Structure 1
Amino acid sequence: MLWLYNFGIFFYGLLINAFAQFNPKAKLFVEGRKNLFPQISKKIISGDRTIWFHFASLGEFEQGRPVLERIKKQYYNKKIVITFFSPSGYEIRKNTPLADAVFYLPMDTPSNAKKFIDLVNPELVIFTKYEYWHNYFRILHERSVPLFMISAIFRPSQVFFKWYGRFNRKTLSYVTHFFVQNQESKLLLENIGIKNISLSGDTRFDTVTLNTEKSAPNNSIEAFIAAAPTLIAGSTWPADETLLSQLIKKQPDWKLIIAPHEIDPGHIDQIQMLFPQAVKYSALPKHQTHSAQVLIIDNIGLLSSLYQYGLVSYIGGGFGAGIHNTLEAAAFALPVIFGPNYQKFQEAKDLIALKAANSVQNIEELAQAFEIYANDTKYGVIAKSYVSKKTGATNGILQAVEKFLG
């Protein structure tokens, strides 16, 4: 089975190289991995004591950030190495002060995994939520390097729990300890013979709580809002934006701030066609009021602090593969609205049960949910309380990890 896995990695590499000819993200993926090992050799020298964090993308980085920040502060004599699989994580966080070095993760071939681990020489490794790379995990296990999965979450539909998932279960067996988000994940792992598990919860709750404390004021946003009630729409896609364009026409007293998931010029142009009178953040007059009802955020990294200015939030992705981060909004005491594809997200199901979130499929349902939340602030209070009660995962993880760090 290993040969089939390695062939799959090789074939994926060929495929992504082909796509790189006409796909910007694929091009970043490929270009970012060129001459990678010489870059690592320059930044990591023999004798460095390193702790390696891996994140699939930006969302996982923010999820694991509380643990990263605490380890960076507590073990300042060690080098922090961060890797990303996706360009959307690497390109935004490649200069983060929380790391001594940030790289793309080389493709998981046996030779790449061995060379990377030889160069980085980690004394401890932390992966966040998912990504199970067999060759990396196997070599770390063979070298007795502790490997932790934090904020991990599992579902019965995953290959690990199928009759044909023996190879994938072997990959899991190389993990030193799993810190899982929920009881279901714990039981699924136990049913396949894995016992090194702690039910720690989700570090994202710590992340978003910390964000509410650190978010700085934005004078330009405050001037744009000018005390009007505001709907914040985060990580939106075209299907979300179409619904929002219909909703806001009927809410003349409200402002709408849209932070789309993709900010390429083509997508921004599509949004402006839906909202012809909208102003882009990059063109917003600084510290001045503006008559526009709709503001389009055309940069990255601003969304998490925008929720402090909202009364109601809409989270995108629910008409596609799945919704994006609802907790950032909930932490700021905003009730949450999203599309129908939310079943993979426990926090979304929890918020719905508490009536602090609502899933909608059309404009009628969106208008109804908005009307409820726009006229009663208690649902935002419930959302914030839910987040507050779920904090603390970072402390439990740190207590376990400290045993492996000298």
Structure 2
Amino acid sequence: MIQLLLFLFYNLLFFPVLFIVYHSYALFRPKYRKGILGRYGVIKAAEKFRNHLDNASRDLYLIHCASMGEFEHLKPFVRRLKERLPKSRTVVMFFSPSGYENVKSAPGVDLIIYSPFDWWFPVYRFLRILRPKALLIAKYDVWPNLMWFSVWRKIPRFLVNATLYDRSSRLKWPLRWLLRPVYGLFDGIFAISEKDRHNFDQLSGKKTTLVVGDTKYDQVVFRSEESRKKTVIPPEIHDNRMVFVAGSTWPEDEEHLIPAIRHYLEISPETLVIICPHEPTAAHLAQLENGLGGLAFTRLSQIENSSAQLQVLLIDRIGVLANLYSLADVAYVGGSFKQNIHNVLEPAVYGIPVLFGPVNQNSHEAQLLKNCGGAIEISGTADLQSQIEKLFSDADFRQQTGAAAQKLVAENRGATDQMLDAVMKKLSGE
């Protein structure tokens, strides 16, 4: 009865209002417009794909990710699924344009599309066309109609890399009351930690969540091995120099970073600083350049014209951060003076100390790194200046901190196989 009432409320009232609001935003925001236009083509794309499948590849796995970040962490799972079941097909669907636009192809993926509008009729048609053997949703991005119609079509449902923070609105009234029946429909929830297991048990009202770890660790190891094969910066720029990399930075980070960088370059002018903004827009890069006046800096796109005395390199392209961290002796991870910290494991895998600001509660890995001594949380500009100076001047402390970070990554590998084994057992009825 509760499911029926929620179904009627969601489809007759809530989603129609959401649909109108979403389309209204799209009139003024290109990002929303891209997502809407892409969704109108989902059914045709699914039909075309299904019509070209042969009988030997009838097992299709449907994976939903909110954005590129969620998919990046699931890549090891997708690769291993294809290795184990080479005749199967994998469809990855994204809610956000950031995922769909930036992931044109990936090993193990046969089709990349937008997720359909979560209204009953598009979802019904979408699932009827693809007929997936299983639905896998990354982290927590659950849409009610996708769940309801998967149940109706008897499609097993799994939440993978499941993450739910203590302060999540999903755990509070009224969302908790509204979402509990939906989360209770999963056949398996595979959490990254005991804390997440507890939170999902609270949300779903069931005690069926399993802790299998986070495939993010497997992915950063894989990317670190791949990144060493690719040259982004000419070796003569960074060879025989200490390197500090600030990755995924926002203006809020740079308010502290730039004074700290200036301070340290006065002490050690031969150090190379690399700043990789999260959004390397023209306006953001110009703002950074204004703040770096008086220092020898250039952009990556102009590096061929730089001098041997280059002090600061600004990265004006995306997709190279993992390669840059491989060159670093010390790293700073951005977002930690804004809303949410970015991926702290990307530098940690290289065995280097990781610095970040106070806004890091969203990252389970950041807490683990702090606890094991592989990362240092900084409170502001003066603290950042002090920690940079200490790490670069004290080789033993730098190596000890970096080794602790690398050890944490090594100890948490293996979630991919555990998660895939758990999914296969559920599908086989064990």
TM-score (norm 1): 0.93
For 2:37, the equivalent position in structure 1 comes to 31
The code of the aligned residue for 1:183 comes to: E
Give the whole-Å Cα distance in 2 for the aligned partners of 1:189 and 1:349.
20
Q: Which has the larger radius of gyration?
A: 2
The code of the aligned residue for 1:238 comes to: P
1:83 deviates by: 0.6
Give the whole-Å Cα distance in 2 for the aligned partners of 1:185 and 1:248.
37
Alignment partner of 1:87 is 2:91: no
Give the whole-Å Cα distance in 2 for the aligned partners of 1:253 and 1:5.
61
The match for 2:374 among 356, 359, 364 is: 356
- Same amino acid, percent of matched pairs: 30
Give the whole-Å Cα distance in 1 for the aligned partners of 2:275 and 2:226.
22
Contact 2:299 2:316 in 1 (8 A): yes
Contact 1:159 1:168 in 2 (8 A): no
- Encode CA deviations 1:140-169: one digit per residue, 9 max, x unaligned: 122221111111122343344335322201
Stretches of structure 1 that go unaligned for 5 or more consecutive residues are none
1:227-246 pair list within 5 angstroms: 227-246=240-259
1:4-403 pair list within 5 angstroms: 4-6=9-11, 7-45=13-51, 48-164=58-174, 165-191=176-202, 193-215=205-227, 216-218=229-231, 220-250=233-263, 251=265, 252-276=269-293, 277-285=296-304, 290-374=308-392, 375=394, 376-403=398-425
Give the whole-Å Cα distance in 1 for the aligned partners of 2:347 and 2:196.
25
**Stretch moving more, 120-129 or 263-272:** 263-272
Aligned residue pair count: 405
Give the whole-Å Cα distance in 1 for the aligned partners of 2:82 and 2:421.
15
Contact 2:260 2:382 in 1 (8 A): no
**Stretch moving more, 163-172 or 65-74:** 163-172
**Stretch moving more, 107-116 or 158-167:** 158-167
The code of the aligned residue for 1:332 comes to: Y
Give the whole-Å Cα distance in 2 for the aligned partners of 1:377 and 1:331.
13
Give the whole-Å Cα distance in 2 for the aligned partners of 1:390 and 1:154.
19
Q: Which has the higher helix share?
A: 2
Contact 2:43 2:122 in 1 (8 A): no
Following TM superposition, where does structure 1 have runs of at least 4 consecutive aligned residues deviating by more than 6 angstroms?
A: none
Contact 2:373 2:401 in 1 (8 A): yes
1:123 deviates by: 0.5
Q: Secondary structure at the match of 1:83?
A: strand
Contact 2:325 2:346 in 1 (8 A): yes
- Encode CA deviations 1:211-263: one digit per residue, 9 max, x unaligned: 22222231534333233111111111011122221122122222111221112
TM-score (norm 2): 0.88
Contact 1:229 1:255 in 2 (8 A): yes
1:295 deviates by: 1.5
**Stretch moving more, 329-338 or 262-271:** 262-271
Contact 2:184 2:205 in 1 (8 A): no
Contact 2:328 2:352 in 1 (8 A): yes
The code of the aligned residue for 1:207 comes to: Q
Give the whole-Å Cα distance in 1 for the aligned partners of 2:236 and 2:117.
47
Give the whole-Å Cα distance in 2 for the aligned partners of 1:345 and 1:378.
22
Give the whole-Å Cα distance in 2 for the aligned partners of 1:9 and 1:360.
43
**Stretch moving more, 345-354 or 211-220:** 211-220
1:290 deviates by: 4.5
Q: Secondary structure at the match of 1:175?
A: coil
Distance 1:9 1:269, change over 3 A: farther
1:35 deviates by: 2.4
1:265 deviates by: 2.1
